[in-house]
Amino acid sequence: MLKVSRSLKEISCKACQAKEEFTKKYNREPTIRELSEISGIGKEELVEAMEASAEVESLHRPVYKKDGSEVELLEKLEKEEKTEEKIIDQMFLYSLLEKLGKEERQLIYLRYFENKTQSETGKRLGMSQVQVSRLEKKILKRMKEYGSPPA
């Protein structure tokens, strides 16, 4: 539980009243700068008060999937974070693949994107399984030397 100071509560209340008046008068919400000017509250102080008065939600609150099943907000957020990490990793991988030759790219694509065996990859590329194994090892070593994805 977070404790909000009395002064922040008062600033928030004053800002809320100013925001309501502005919205009624101009039929839109004010910007932070406008709210600061009409309320006489500094921008930084105003933002801090607004953040402090924001409604708090439990991470264990149930949210619903499209199929109607229940999942906790925390679990949903974790999945979204993993999705972001996955996208960053994919972007990094694509940048590494651009540094490879056509045959090397094909080999990596077949092995890791289409999940082909070394034998299947060899047949598609006109190589033996042993050649695929050696070339794959060499490519992966070179890719590791290029670096790792941003943390």
Which of 14, 31, 52 terminates a domain? The answer is 52
Report the pLDDT averaged over residues 37-59. Answer: 79
Give a yes or no: residue 85 inside a domain.
Answer: no
Q: How far is CA 120 from each of CA 10, 100, 104, 110, 134, rounded to the nearest angstrom?
A: 70, 21, 15, 9, 15
Regarding pTM above 0.85, the answer is no
Give a yes or no: residue 19 inside a domain.
Answer: yes
> Greater confidence, 112 or 132?
132
Average pLDDT, the chain: 81
Q: What is the pLDDT of residue 57?
A: 62
Residue 16's CATH number: 1.10.10.10
Q: Which domain holds residue 23?
A: 6-52
Domains of the chain: total: 2
Confidence of residue 150 (pLDDT cuts 50, 70, 90): low
Residue pair 15/49 in contact by the 8 Å Cβ criterion: yes
